[in-house]
Structure 1
Amino acid sequence: MALITSDAYFKLLAHACKYPFDTCLGLLVGQRGADGSVTVQDVVPVLHSQHQLAMVMHAALAQVDMHYQDSPVSLVGLYQVHDRVDAKLQMDAVARKIAARLRQHNPHAVALVFDSQNLQRTSEPAAALFTPQEKDEWMHMYNGLIPMNLAPITRSQTPLQFTDSDEGSRGQRLSKMLESRSYEQIHDFEEFLADGTSDYLNARFA
């Protein structure tokens, strides 16, 4: 099972909205529970293009890992947002390469895959959760993201959930972000490498 906070989700969403015609990739930050579940408490947007992919990801993993080394949270996975309308909710070759490197840091890392078009239409978007298997294989766990206010039995059987149940508040937040274009304030690590001033951790993004 994977849980994601609304704040982490909206950073991810902002990254996708800022670059709607690119496939966006980023890192998931959080904690792994004793039962194997993962709680995503923050995300770090990493890149939105294929330019110097290996260099960007290598630098991002090193920087982010160092940033959180004395923190109770750590890297727990990656996210990918497909830009194509016809793209299936699957990890592509790029995501798999990044995931393989991430698993060197955390063998239990997970992957979340979203569709950019769907993200902007609903506060409860379609998503896919992948968990690591042997070698470089991944298991596709589930499509769908549901609020926590469903029946306990249903929640326990659903691997991907929000940590809160306020779907209405998320809907309002989504509308406000799209109308105000506040997503333009989000920065990824690729931008940081280009100008050296962008806050890729997005500490002030709300």
Structure 2
Amino acid sequence: MPNYVIHTKAYLKIILHACKHPFAGVNGILLAEDSEIDNEIRIVDAVPLFHRWVTLTPMLEIGLQQVDVYASKNNLKIAGYYHANERVDDNKLPLYGQKIVSKIHDNFNKAIALVVQNTKLSPENPEIAVVPYTFKENQWRPDNKAFSSKTESSTANSFSFENPNAPDLISQSIQKRHFEHLYDFDEHMENIELDWLVNQKVESLEIENDKKRK
């Protein structure tokens, strides 16, 4: 079974997207390196899509097409979907989210979904705030034991962060309000000058902080 490694940059954008729109559902796309080594899937980036129209709409198709073109140009592939619900106590992947990740799964059978656990988005108490969903027995199931150092069997998926300190680093970014510099496709449609595919400003802030920590 695949081993999934979540890079800090991908996790950062997911959490900042959810923090920027705390009273709305948000979603986006997970990008992985195009090549796999030893059955390891490295989720290296995330592209924020919507905070207004998170359901299945014609704009979703347009957004996915643009992400696909961007991924191809950068030797990446669409490897999954992320989602945060509007209600703080709602930590499940909704039906339309399952349909979106199923569409991705049709093209990449190792695709996953990451669902933000809203109750764990606390800058004062850093926790891993996502739960992966994998496709098992013809349905999307949460892996509540993900990111554990132990797996129950050799057939289980494993999940880890490239940097084990990722929750602490993202907590610092939340405290510094880096989410104010992150834009999604919704905002890009209102102002085409906004950078939603790369979010270079957020990446620059993270690199700068990483240098200071070293």
TM class by smaller structure: 0.7 to 0.9
Paired residue for 2:161?
162
Query: Structure 1 regions of 5+ residues with no counterpart?
Result: none
Write the mapping of 1:1-206 to structure 2, written as runs, cut at 5 A.
1-31=3-33, 33=36, 35-50=38-53, 53-88=56-91, 90-121=92-123, 122-133=125-136, 137-145=139-147, 153=150, 159-166=158-165, 170-175=167-172, 177-201=173-197, 202-205=199-202, 206=206
- Give the superposition deviation at 1:187: 0.4
Distance 1:78 1:187 in 2: 17
Taking only aligned residues, the RMSD between alpha carbons, in angstroms, comes to 2.7
Q: Unaligned regions of 5+ residues in structure 2, if any?
A: 207-214
Match of 2:211 in 1: none
Structure-1 separation of matches of 2:54 and 2:161: 33
Whether the 8 Å contact between 1:12 and 1:45 is mirrored in structure 2 is yes
1:204: Cα distance to partner?
2.8
Following the alignment from structure 1 to structure 2, what is the Cα–Cα distance between the partners of residues 197 and 130?
Answer: 34
Aligned residue identity for 1:161: S
Cα 1:76–1:158 change in 2 (3 A) is closer
Residue 69 of structure 1 aligns to a residue whose secondary structure is helix
Structure 2 Cα separation of the partners of residues 51 and 126 of structure 1? 20
User: Between the two proteins, what is the percent identity of the paired residues?
Assistant: 26
1:112–1:60 distance in 2 versus 1, CA, 3 Å: same
1:97-130 deviation digits (Å, cap 9, x = unpaired): 2112222332321111112231235433243212
Partner-residue secondary structure (3-state), 1:86: coil
Deviation at residue 28 of structure 1 after TM alignment = 0.3
Residue type matched to 2:43 in 1? V
Q: Partners in 2 of 1:128 and 1:52 — Cα distance?
A: 20
Q: Structure 1 residues 51 and 139, CA, compared in 2 at 3 Å: closer, same or farther?
A: closer
Structure 1 pair 51/95, CA: closer, same or farther in 2 (3 Å)?
closer
- TM-score by length of structure 1 reads 0.81
Larger mean Cα displacement after TM superposition, 10-19 or 177-186 = 177-186
Report the Cα offset of residue 173 of structure 1.
4.7
Residue 162 of structure 1 aligns with an amino acid whose one-letter code is F
Look up the equivalent residue of 1:186 and give its one-letter code.
Answer: L
CA contact (8 A) 1:16 1:24 kept: yes
**Number of corresponding residues:** 196
> Is this contact kept in 2: 1:142–1:159, CA < 8 A?
no
The CA deviation at 1:12 is 0.9
Deviation per residue, 1:157-205 (Å, 9 max, x gap): 77221112335xx525523x23332211100111112221211121231
Three-state SS of the structure 1 residue aligned to 2:144 is: strand
